[in-house]
Structures are given as structure tokens and as C-alpha cells.
Structure 1
Amino acid sequence: MKIECYLSQACMSEEELVRNIRQALSLEGVEADVSFRRVTDDDARHMGIKGSPTVLINGADIAPSDVNGAT
């Protein structure tokens, strides 16, 4: 499994995100290649990232912003 985490330069949730990902992987007994990357606003626009943090699992956004429903 590949987990890619993208955070804006101003995002303050990196520590919590790291903790949550480690806990989830441990609870599920899953190994993953996890990466964290800070991105500029321009990088985020170019990559189609619309929120921070954005987490992709095997290339799929776990919380896509274009899904209709409750927010």
C-alpha cells in the first residue's frame, strides 16, 4: 500500500496526521510506504489538491472534494 500525504505550507495538522496514520496501520496490521510532502499553493493547484491535508491511498483521495453529500 502506498500512502501519500500532501500538506500546505500553513497546515498545522502534520503531527496529528502522522499519529493517526501510524495508529490505523497498526490496528489493521498493514504495512505501507507512507510519504509526507509540504506543497506550495501553486503546487497544490497544479496537482489538483484542494484541501490540506490531502491523503491519497494507492493514488485515490480518501476525502475527495467533488463528492456530493454532507460536509
Structure 2
Amino acid sequence: IVKYMENARHVARIFRDRPQSALDTAVFWTEYVIRHGGAPQMRSAALDLSNIQYLLLDVIAVIV
């Protein structure tokens, strides 16, 4: 249990070591998206895949 607590404290310290608070980060990214008109450059490429490609059904079909 002691090792678990030490590890939890270590991870918590790493998590809290941020240049900005979570709220500041959320505000920054919200404003960023507004400034850049939806920020299409940050859109996931997975949205352009067909369902067959997204679910890797084409790869599974080749393997099977």
C-alpha cells in the first residue's frame, strides 16, 4: 500500500505541474478555435475515412 501511495503522489505531482490551469487551457483552445474559424487543420483525418476503413474491415478481409 505504501508503494501505491508514493506512486499516486508522484503521478499527482506530475499532473499538477502545468504552465496553465485547466480552465485557462480550455479558454485558450476555445478562443483558438473561434479565431481560426473552427480550426479545420485540427480536424481528425479519421473523419474522412469510410466506415470500412475506419473499422479496419479492409485489413481484416485481407488477413482472413
TM-score norm. by structure 1 comes to 0.26
Say which structure is richer in helix.
2
Larger Rg: 2
Whose RCO is larger (CA < 8 A, sep 6+)?
1
TM-score norm. by structure 2 comes to 0.28
